[in-house]
Amino acid sequence: MNHIQQDQSAVALAGFLARAATHRVHREWLHCEHMTAYVRFNDRYLREGLVGLCLVIANVVVDEGQRGKGHLKRFLQTAAEVAQVAIEPPDYLYIESVMDHGLAKHLVRSGWTETTLTTSSPSFYRLVSEMVDQAHAS
């Protein structure tokens, strides 16, 4: 893993989650190496009968020329690892309104669950603990 991106992502995410611990709904733009992400921390309806506290990734912009190089994948894994040790850890990572069909297919293959509660672009969620456990097993 690129240590510069990992460190920038980890610091940005840890700071965000620390600030979010004092607010029930918190949102901000995080600026990391080669990408910018708009994140929120709030409860989400994931499917019928399931509500979870989520770190929501609502928008991601990867720098031109850096796309397809795994920056989002590393960001999501770093988010899961940082979230697990947060003051108020979210139960899930939630990726909102995935507009790239290739990314949507990749998320399903990688163990993410598509929420059935959206009518526009698909959104996906995954347990934070499941992501961390899978990363440590591989």
Tell me the domain boundaries of the chain: 3-137
Q: Counting runs of H as helices and runs of E as strands, what totals does the chain give?
A: 4, 6
Given CA atoms 45, 50, 52, 55 in this order, what sign does their dihedral have?
A: negative
Q: State CA 76 to chain mean position distance.
A: 5
Among 39, 15, 17, 36, smallest CA distance to 28 is for 39
CATH architecture of 3-137: 3-Layer(aba) Sandwich (3.40)
Q: How far apart are the first and last CA of the chain?
A: 14
What tens digit of pLDDT does each residue of 22-79 get? 876 789 999 998 999 999 999 999 988 899 999 999 999 999 999 999 999 999 999 9
Task: Please state whether 57 falls in left (phi above 0), alpha (psi between -120 and 50) or beta.
Answer: beta
Q: What is the pLDDT of residues 88-103, one digit of tens each?
A: 899 999 999 999 999 9
DSSP codes joined into one string, 95-122: E-----HHHHHHHHHTT-EE-SS-SSS-
